[in-house]
Amino acid sequence: MTASFRFTRLFALTLSLIVIALVSISFYAAWVLERSLIPQLDRKMLTVGVAVNAKLERALRYDIPLEHLPGVTDFFGTVLAADPDLAYLVLTRHDGTVLHQYGTLLPRPEELARATTAALETRSAFQGTAVADSIEQQRSPQALTAHPLGDFYDLALPLRSGETVLGVLHIGANANFVVQKIQEILFDIAIVFVIAILVAFELLLLLVHHYLVAPIDRLETVLRRIADGDLSHTLPVSRDETGWPARLLNRLVEQLNVAQQRLLRQAAHLQGVAPAAAGRLSTNLGSLWRGFTLAPEGRPVLYQPADLFGARIATFLFIFAAELSQPFLPLYARAYATYLSNPPSPLLVSLPLTVFTLAAALSMPLAGWRCERAGSSRTFAEGALLMTLGLIGAGLAFNFYDLLVWRALTAVGYAFMYAACQGYVVVNTSPQQRASGSALFVSGLMAATICGPAIGGILADRIGYTATFGCAAMLAAGAGLMAFGLLRTAPPSTPALRRSAHGMIRQLAGNSRFVLLMLFAAIPAKLLLNGFLFFLVPLTLNEFGDSRSEIGRVAMLYGLAALFLGPLFARLADRFALHGLLVGVGGLLAGIGLIPVFFFPTTTGVLVGVLLLGVGQAMSISSQLALVTGIGRSPIEQFGSGPVLGSYRLIERLGGACGPLFAAGLAALFGYAGAVTIIGMLGVLTATLFSVSFLVLGVEPEPDDEPPPVAS
Amino acid sequence: MSLKITATITVLIAFVLGLAVLMNYAKFERTFSNLTQSRLAFLIQDLRDTLEFGLDLGLDPAAMANTAAILTREATQDPHILSISVFDDQKRVLHQYQSDLLKHHPVAPLASAWLATVLQTIAKTPQHVSDSETLMVGIPLVNNFGRTVGALILRYDRSFYDQELQHTLFDLIRAALLILVATSLAAWLSVWLLFRSARRELRQVGAALEQFLENRQVSASPFEGDSALKVLHVAAEQKSQEFQQRLVQADRILHLEQRLAERIPSLPEERQRDGERQ
């Protein structure tokens, strides 16, 4: 049974158990809710029924025949309009004939006739058992309860004039009242399921890899090396099933090395006593050791290759923590901004988001420097500490300015953690493995961008903003603790040889293709993401009356599209060399999706916009990176890929930081829906300019286009 | 390993169940609260209509003799109604129904500020508020000249309301825990079965290694199988054995050289003695 087969079965098992747990708790909840809510519904029907009955009986006291009571249907309509929990009001004669009725859904006449007869028979039974036939007793909840009637719960109240029963008033509620209430949260339950799948996938992948695949791989590698005569490595000993063979194998390797060292020591002793004999011995031993590699000085080295899955789960956890507040952050900021000006200007509301993106962009170089000095594990832990403090502070902020400071601290933590994970992947992969290593990192990131907003919205709806920030802080702290175990094998990398950044900037600024790519693709992409998805979506949907859960659900669509379509488009682009085309089409698609929001200001309109943004950016993001490496081949050869790609990321992030401010400025002028549309139009315009420019210039620079190398 | 994986699955299921309980409870709380509030609102609106009918006839609220009976009749519909009071615009009680429950468990007096809010409200819909003991619904009484002449306040026993919520939450948590225990056991059993062969393989490799270490002359691989791990283990053992043999050879050569080295310094002396004899 291979490890991947075991993982598949384990994943299937986990999914089955999650489904069983969710279905079981949902059915039980439906039963518990029905048990508790139906008596309350009964009471309400009785309250309404008694009041309506009293009014009808008052009318009957004026000797108006029941059939000719005027305005009864309108009166029923008024009562039902004020109470959406009730389905109908029907007045029947004592023989069951329907006289007046109102309701969007009504039971069949024969059902009503049967219910009327049953109600009157119950009354007779009361009289027969000599129970005092007072109206109060009949009206008490013990005496009158609703009964199932087709698709309804029906409460039948006798209507009397004096001592004579003239008819029966039926008050009905939908029998699926509780089921409808449960159905209202089914979407949320489905979201929880999707997120549980993603979290299960991430965690199980890590566990199976960390506790089974990696130890067995290590065991196999060391065994293979021993089989090849290499006795220089031992294995890390864990406390699980792989620990025992690893310990024994280490003992074997150490014993063989010790025995060899003992022989070498004795040979060295002989060298002093009888050099000729020692020389002969050395020749003999040399031929004996041939084909074997022993540990230098008899001290075997621990064989512990880096675990990239550790970086993936660490990325997943901290991005999850950072994204939890995404669907409500503008709403949260608006609540604080209201204390400064009421109503607050969109620019003020956008500040916490701008501060976050700007602080994250500007602290990236510092984070990279720290990672080079202290290693990934320590940098990640420091970032986790900063982020935890920032999230707790944001949840408990005293005022708007306080919130800005905490968001900036969170952003610095975010930058540290991001740089640590990225650095870990770079340090622990060969150039050939780097793409697959980055894909692991990006998959963790994307999975978290799906889970974070959706769960954050649900949590904010149920437990409030502060507690949701608390949950995010716990996640960040948990990620920091896990990083000690997951990223610790990364040695601090040797600081790269520094070259003049000035020369690189000059060369990049002189590269027209690079400038056009930045201006018309990279910056607009981040501007759309931060301005629309992170800032305008929560505020626009809130204006449309959507809950935070719904905002989270809409926001997660971006991550879903990016996670599933990103790798597909990346493969297509690589296979058919479509990078330029995909950047252009992706940009157009992302922009076009936003334009209809002003004309169709509905949740669906925003949802389509988010979805198309996700699809468009799934097309363009990986292709953009490929274009940068193609366009910037010359500076990359001269300065290395790190500084060039770092500059690209910094420019892109600075563009992203402008997104919320730009969107807020537009929202102040044109409203939220108008701002979405204008941002979309800007996206279309920049994508068109990009496409035209690259159609004219071409993606690949001509040999004579290349600027002369700048001396560094 | 099985325990760690089972623990992770358990944590995942606990997370899912926790969120499901949270969402179901929140829905229940909202629905229960809406049902209770809308029922009490309907009741107080009906009372308001009845009392305003008297006001429309030009009666003074204080002089409406049947008000107490009306309040009592409405209050008997629900034993958890603690009091229904009619106030005038100076916040003085004109008529009041008080449940017997208040004799045993008196509640804090009505907050004057909230009563003022009810009296000042223009909306026709009832106002809701709650304290630690009661849920309160209030509505202003307006005469046919549009002037607020008083207010109607209903106080409802909160302990019943809270008990229902707690009871439901407890039921949901208990069910979630039971489901969690059942699914965790199923997870543990399944994971144990799923990783049994890997465990057995590792145990066999361990046992073979141990045997090899205890008695180096014994041939390796006392188990059968053709997995990569086992094949590599056999190869590694053979190579180790080969190295051990070389170590033995090396040891022999060393001893030989040592003996030779011990003997070499005495050779010139022996030759000298032999020469003297000759």
For residue A178, count other CB atoms closer than 10 A to its CB: 23
CB < 8 Å to A182, chain B: 24, 27
What gap in Å lies between CA A51 and CA A48, rounded to an integer? 5
Written as six digits, the tokens of B271 are: 């030759």
What gap in Å lies between CA B167 and CA B183, rounded to an integer? 24
From A28, A216, A229, residue closest to B229, measured CB to CB: A216
pLDDT value, residue A287 = 80
- Scanning A203-262 for CB atoms below 8 A from B yields 203-204, 207-208, 211-212, 216, 219-220, 223-224, 226-229, 231, 240-242, 244-245, 248-249, 251-252, 255-256, 259-260
Instruction: Name the more confident of B167 and A450.
Output: B167
pLDDT tens across A44-72, in order? Answer: 888 888 888 888 888 887 777 877 778 88
pLDDT value, residue A646 = 77
Interchain contact, A40 vs B36, CB within 8 Å: yes
What gap in Å lies between CA A386 and CA A384, rounded to an integer? 5
Report which of B77, B75, B78, B69 is spatially closest to residue B51, judged by C-alpha positions: B69
pLDDT value, residue A135 = 46
Task: Tell me A599's DSSP state.
Answer: T
Contact (CB, 8 A) for A659 and A535: yes
Mean pLDDT of the A543-566 span:
83
pLDDT tens across A648-666, in order? Answer: 888 888 888 888 889 999 9
The confidence band for A642, taking pLDDT boundaries of 50, 70 and 90, is low
Among all chains, which residue has been given the structure tokens 């790519």? A517
Whether the pLDDT of residue A490 is over 50: the answer is: no
The CA-based angle A303-A305-A309, given to 5 degrees, is: 145
Task: Tell me A242's DSSP state.
Answer: T
CB < 8 Å to A6, chain B: 194-195, 198
Among all chains, which residue has been given the structure tokens 């003297």? B276
The confidence band for A138, taking pLDDT boundaries of 50, 70 and 90, is very low
Q: Average model confidence (pLDDT) for chain A?
A: 81
What gap in Å lies between CA A478 and CA A322, rounded to an integer? 13
CB < 8 Å to B196, chain A: none
Q: Which amino acid is at A535?
A: F
pLDDT tens across A342-370, in order? Answer: 788 888 888 999 999 899 888 888 888 88
pLDDT value, residue A700 = 67
Whether the pLDDT of residue B157 is over 50: the answer is: yes
Strands A293-294 and A230-231: parallel
CATH class of A306-497: mainly alpha
Nearest CA in chain A to B247: A260
The nearest CA of chain B is from the CA of A134 a distance in Å of 13
Local structure of A709: helix, strand or coil: coil
Interchain contact, B13 vs A281, CB within 8 Å: no
What gap in Å lies between CA A646 and CA A5, rounded to an integer? 39
Contact (CB, 8 A) for B238 and A227: yes
Paired residues of B130 in beta bridges: B135
- Among A86-95, A185-194, A453-462, the least confident range: A185-194
CB < 8 Å to A303, chain B: none
Interchain contact, A29 vs B38, CB within 8 Å: no
- Among A321-335, A382-396, A572-586, A664-678, the least confident range: A572-586
pLDDT value, residue B184 = 93
Strands A301-302 and A233-234: parallel
Max alpha carbon distance in chain B (Å)?
163
- The answer to whether ipTM exceeds 0.85 is no
pLDDT value, residue A332 = 92
pLDDT value, residue A701 = 62
pLDDT value, residue B5 = 83
Report which of A541, A554, A384 is spatially closest to residue A472, judged by C-alpha positions: A384
Give the length of chain A.
712
Local structure of B223: helix, strand or coil: coil
Q: Which amino acid is at A304?
A: Q
pLDDT value, residue A124 = 61
The CA-based angle B176-B181-B185, given to 5 degrees, is: 145
pLDDT tens across A172-199, in order? Answer: 888 877 777 777 777 777 877 787 788 7
Whether the pLDDT of residue A271 is over 80: the answer is: no
Written as six digits, the tokens of A333 are: 């900021």
What gap in Å lies between CA A636 and CA A652, rounded to an integer? 18
Write out the H or E segment, with its range, that includes residue A463.
Answer: helix A434-463
Among all chains, which residue has been given the structure tokens 């695949």? A213
Test mutation, B45, B201, B205, chain A, max A CBs within 10 A: B205
- Among B4-13, B81-90, B95-104, the least confident range: B95-104
pLDDT value, residue A481 = 86
pLDDT value, residue A139 = 47
Written as six digits, the tokens of A635 are: 């500076």
- Scanning A544-603 for CB atoms below 8 A from B yields none
Q: How far is CA B41 from the centre of its chain?
A: 34
Instruction: Name the more confident of A161 and A686.
Output: A686
Mean pLDDT of the A497-521 span:
77
At the topology level, CATH places domain A504-712 in Growth Hormone; Chain: A; (1.20.1250)
CB < 8 Å to A139, chain B: 77
Whether the pLDDT of residue A407 is over 90: the answer is: yes
Please give the C-alpha separations between residue A563 and each of A198, A318, A532, A557, A569, in angstroms, as whole numbers.
11, 17, 19, 10, 11
Whether the pLDDT of residue B241 is over 50: the answer is: yes
pLDDT value, residue A395 = 92
Interchain contact, B27 vs A51, CB within 8 Å: no
* Domains of chain B: residue spans and CATH: 41-163 (3.30.450.20), 217-277 (no CATH)
Q: Which amino acid is at A417?
A: M
Interchain contact, B20 vs A25, CB within 8 Å: yes
| DSSP structure string for A417-453 | HHHHHHHHHHHTS-TTTHHHHHHHHHHHHHHHHHHHH
pLDDT value, residue B56 = 73
Written as six digits, the tokens of A674 are: 């108008």
Give the length of chain B.
278
| DSSP structure string for A662-685 | HHHHHHHHHHHHHHHHHHHHHHHH
From A203, A252, A274, residue closest to B261, measured CB to CB: A274
- Please state which of the four CATH numbers 3.20.20.70, 3.30.450.20, 3.30.70.920, 3.90.1150.10 is assigned to the domain occupying A22-184: 3.30.450.20
CB < 8 Å to B264, chain A: 274, 277
Q: What is the CA radius of gyration of chain B?
A: 46
Nearest CA in chain B to A140: B77
% of chain B residues with pLDDT over 90: 9
pLDDT value, residue A233 = 81
pLDDT tens across B191-228, in order? Answer: 888 888 878 878 887 887 777 777 755 554 555 555 77
Paired residues of A169 in beta bridges: A91, A157
Would you call B148 exposed, middle or buried from its count of C-beta atoms within 10 A (0-12, 13-18, 19+)?
middle
Interchain contact, B36 vs A223, CB within 8 Å: no
Q: Which of A151-160, A266-275, A525-534 has the highest mean pLDDT?
A: A525-534
Nearest CA in chain B to A52: B46
Paired residues of B152 in beta bridges: B86, B139
pLDDT value, residue A406 = 94
What gap in Å lies between CA A638 and CA A508, rounded to an integer? 12
From B24, B32, B258, residue closest to A40, measured CB to CB: B32
Interchain contact, A241 vs B243, CB within 8 Å: no
The confidence band for A234, taking pLDDT boundaries of 50, 70 and 90, is confident
Q: Is the peptide bond before A275 cis (omega within 30 degrees of 0)?
A: no
CB < 8 Å to B23, chain A: 185, 188-189, 192, 458, 462
Test mutation, B2, B3, B15, B19, chain A, max A CBs within 10 A: B19
Q: How far is CA A197 from the centre of its chain?
A: 12
pLDDT tens across A589-621, in order? Answer: 999 999 998 888 888 899 999 999 999 988 887
The confidence band for A473, taking pLDDT boundaries of 50, 70 and 90, is very high
Q: Which amino acid is at A209?
A: H
pLDDT tens across A291-323, in order? Answer: 788 778 778 888 777 777 777 888 888 888 988
Name the region of A229 (left: φ>0; alpha: ψ -120 to 50; beta: rest).
Answer: left
Whether the pLDDT of residue A681 is over 90: the answer is: yes
pLDDT value, residue B146 = 78
- Scanning A140-169 for CB atoms below 8 A from B yields 140-141
Paired residues of B142 in beta bridges: B148
Contact (CB, 8 A) for A513 and A701: yes
Mean pLDDT of the B113-142 span:
84
Interchain contact, B175 vs A270, CB within 8 Å: no
pLDDT value, residue B180 = 94
Test mutation, A2, A20, A27, A40, chain B, max B CBs within 10 A: A40
Whether the pLDDT of residue A428 is over 80: the answer is: no
What gap in Å lies between CA A276 and CA B268, rounded to an integer? 16
What gap in Å lies between CA A87 and CA A102, rounded to an integer? 9
pLDDT value, residue A235 = 82
- Scanning A42-61 for CB atoms below 8 A from B yields 43-44, 46-48, 50-51
Report which of A432, A198, A456, A210 is spatially closest to residue A311, judged by C-alpha positions: A210
| DSSP structure string for A218-233 | HHHHHHHHHHTTEE-E
Interchain contact, A14 vs B26, CB within 8 Å: no
- Percent helix / strand / coil, chain A, rounded to 5: 75, 5, 20
Contact (CB, 8 A) for A383 and A690: no
Whether the pLDDT of residue B247 is over 90: the answer is: no
Written as six digits, the tokens of B174 are: 């208990």
Whether the pLDDT of residue A6 is over 80: the answer is: no
CB < 8 Å to B8, chain A: 203-204, 207
pLDDT value, residue A248 = 82
From B9, B20, B43, residue closest to A22, measured CB to CB: B20
pLDDT value, residue A699 = 67
- Among A38-42, A115-119, A591-595, A630-634, the least confident range: A630-634
Mean pLDDT of the A426-437 span:
67
Whether the pLDDT of residue A376 is over 60: the answer is: yes
In this structure, what is the dihedral angle of CA atoms B16, B20, B26, B30, given to the nearest 10 degrees?
Answer: 160
Nearest CA in chain B to A144: B77
**CB proximity list for A2: less than 8 A, separation 6 or greater:** none
pLDDT value, residue A436 = 65
Test mutation, B32, B39, B252, chain A, max A CBs within 10 A: B39
Among all chains, which residue has been given the structure tokens 């608006």? A334
Whether the pLDDT of residue A382 is over 70: the answer is: yes
Name the region of A580 (left: φ>0; alpha: ψ -120 to 50; beta: rest).
Answer: alpha
**CB proximity list for A346: less than 8 A, separation 6 or greater:** A539, A663, A664, A665, A667, A668, A672, A675
Interchain contact, A227 vs B238, CB within 8 Å: yes
Q: What is the CA radius of gyration of chain A?
A: 36
Q: Which amino acid is at A279?
A: G
Max alpha carbon distance in chain A (Å)?
139
Q: List the strands of the sheet with A164-174, edge to edge.
A: A98-103, A88-93, A164-174, A152-161, A147-149
